[in-house]
Amino acid sequence: MTNLTRTNRQKKTEQKFDYQEALRDVARSMVRLKRPDRLLKLITRFIDRQFGLHHTSLLVHEPSKNRYVFVNSKGARRVPAGLLKFDSDHPLIRWFALPRRKTPFQEDYLLLTDIKKTLNKAHFRLAADSRASELVKVQKTMEVLRVELVIPGYFKNDLVGILMLGGKFSGRFFTSSEILFFQTLAHDCSMAIKTAEYNQSLLEQNRELENRLQEIEKLRHKEQRTYYEIIRSLAEEVEAKEPTVFGHVSQVEKLGMMTARELGIDLSGQHKDILSAALMLHDVGKIGVPDHILMKPGGLTPEEWEVMKSHVEKGAKILEPLSDFRKVKEIILSHHERFDGTGYPRGLKGEDILIEARIVSVVDSFHAIVSNRCYREGRSIDFALQELEHCAGTQFDPQVVEAFIRVIRREIAKGRIDVAALQH
């Protein structure tokens, strides 16, 4: 009989222990919940159902206003959530928030019965200790709210919230293991609240940073666009210097884009803008070449030719500030390189020359042959195409020449190219 009783008692204790341990695990895992308000609701509801109390309330710190608000309350004697607020100098808050001095209460909780007992002790009641008068105020608060047990929750040294519990329906006292369990919950709740606050502030900081980066990017883009437009107008100015080649830039751009498509070059996203800009701006450096050289009817002297050749470097320099169009600068710098490596300025060879620059080279040369210049009449399209074929492999990339000829023939056949305009 004795053995049987012991076994039953043991089982009961084990069950109770396992039950509490499981609860603590659940509470700890809830710390990871992103929304602590859900966790607080769960815990209030759980205590209310499980322990048969007159009420279960949670008071939580509101950092923006430095006050404590009832966020959840359950039970017959519950406090309406959100209605009651305690400032940071409220006696109950001060009791737990201030650095702990030596008091008759060693634990981080207050039981109304303990307070009453302590206050009844003459030496404590009569001591001119402000702590005693504070405790009287705490007692009054607890009595008004019909709270039997108060458990604070801390994060580091900050008072994050307070769990306030009414008495049991059974009239029994809280056991020490129950109090320990409530303390665990209060601690977990505090952790959850602080973690969520921290995550929230990180999110807000990230959002703010992203917004600022976007603004900077917008400004940068706007500046780049403005600069690009300036260069465009410079290119038009170059073109205007030689009125007989009016339309050269737009013709070269159109034919160049078609050739690139014919070659199957990726023209998605920024690739298209880069090639288009390079085709339009390839001779922008001529703005730095004196007019008497640029428009000289006869042949150039070796010195003049050197100045003329410098337009590729001058063009690249003009493009320097356009970080969005870094590749355009490289294409412009290479548009007078030759496939056999005898071009300028660097003598690059074959596929070391960017494909875009090889395209500009073919289209630009074609257009130069067919256009009227101040020093000669424009030649026929057939003549120009023969010239390109003739120079394929030496001056030009043969594949680009082939693709270009296919494009020209097809476009002329379909009537999509105005031959007269091309040759004016």
| Interface residue list for Fe ion (CB under 5 A) | 283
Find the shortest distance in angstroms from Cβ 279 to Fe ion.
11
With contact defined as beta carbons under 8 Å apart, do 388 and 405 qualify?
yes
Q: Could you say which DSSP state residue 373 is in?
A: B
User: Tokens 């003009």 belong to which residue?
Assistant: 318
Q: Cβ closer to Fe ion: 46 or 344?
A: 344
Pairing mode of beta strands 158-165, 110-111:
unpaired
Find the shortest distance in angstroms from Cβ 286 to Fe ion.
7
Q: Cβ closer to Fe ion: 159 or 294?
A: 294
Find the shortest distance in angstroms from Cβ 362 to Fe ion.
13
Residue nearest to Fe ion (CB): 283
Q: Cβ closer to Fe ion: 252 or 263?
A: 252
Q: Could you say which DSSP state residue 146 is in?
A: T
Find the shortest distance in angstroms from Cβ 211 to Fe ion.
43
Find the shortest distance in angstroms from Cβ 282 to Fe ion.
6
Q: Cβ closer to Fe ion: 61 or 314?
A: 314
Beta bridge partners of 165: 56, 149
Three-state DSSP at 379 gives coil
Find the shortest distance in angstroms from Cβ 309 to Fe ion.
9
Find the shortest distance in angstroms from Cβ 294 to Fe ion.
11
Q: Cβ closer to Fe ion: 58 or 333?
A: 333
Whether cis (ω within 30° of 0) applies to the bond prior to 243 is no
3-state SS, one letter per residue, for 386-421: HHHHHHECCCECHHHHHHHHHHHHHHHHCCCCCHHH
C-alpha to C-alpha distance for 363 and 386, rounded to whole angstroms: 14
What sign does the CA torsion over 250, 254, 257, 263 have? Answer: negative
CB atoms within 10 A of CB 118: 17
Q: Cβ closer to Fe ion: 30 or 284?
A: 284
Find the shortest distance in angstroms from Cβ 332 to Fe ion.
8
C-alpha to C-alpha distance for 354 and 343, rounded to whole angstroms: 14
Order of strands, sheet of 158-165, starting from the edge strand that comes earlier in the sequence: 85-87, 67-74, 56-62, 158-165, 149-155, 110-111
CB atoms within 10 A of CB 34: 11
Q: Cβ closer to Fe ion: 74 or 311?
A: 311
Q: Cβ closer to Fe ion: 289 or 401?
A: 289
